[in-house]
Amino acid sequence: MFTIRMGIPEMEGFWDTLEKKVEAGATSREEIKLYKKIGKALYLLSEDPRYPGLNSHEISSLMARYGRKVWESYLENRTPAAGRMFWTYGPGQGEITVVAIEPHPDDKSNAYKSITLSSMGEVLK
């Protein structure tokens, strides 16, 4: 099992805000659906990053840009602009840090150029 962390500050802020809205009952249907998809993906990721339904795979262009292995996992599949979660191992042993949640990039030639990753402190540049 892995401990899941959220990247700083973007992912941590995004997740905290979404959780508070859900707890307060102040969410739209789309936000509730997103919350459930992310929650399920986080659970599966913590149990087994190689879980088949996540379809986790390394993204070489992000590795080249950030100097660290970055993986992409599915939040959903077979939908337009399907959600993707980007993550990396660390910073500590047995930890995974989610560094971005984005729609699947459309542009095949420079698909990941517009993806910006949250920081996990000393690990990502």
Non-local CB neighbours of 53 within 8 Å, separated by 6+ positions: 44, 74
The tens digit of pLDDT for each residue in 57-75 reads 999 888 888 888 999 999 9
Asked if the structure places residue 30 within a domain, the reply is yes
What residue numbers bound the domain in which 41 lies? 3-103
Residue 14 pLDDT grade (very low, low, confident, very high; cuts 50, 70, 90): very high
| Residue whose structure tokens are 């337009």 | 80
Q: Give pLDDT tens digits for 28-58.
A: 999 999 999 999 999 999 999 999 999 999 9
Residue 110 lies in a domain: no
Asked whether the beta carbons of 101 and 86 are under 8 A apart, the reply is yes
- 38 inside domain: yes
> 108 in a domain, yes or no?
no
Q: Is residue 112 part of a domain?
A: no
Indicate the number of domains in the chain: 1
Q: What is the CATH number of the domain that holds 37?
A: 3.30.2310.20
Percent with pLDDT over 90 in the chain = 59
Angle, to 10 degrees, between the axis of helix 10-24 and the axis of helix 29-47?
A: 120
Q: How confident is the model at residue 120 (pLDDT cuts 50, 70, 90)?
A: low
Structure tokens that stand for 24 in this block: 């307060």
Tell me if 114 is assigned to some domain. Answer: no
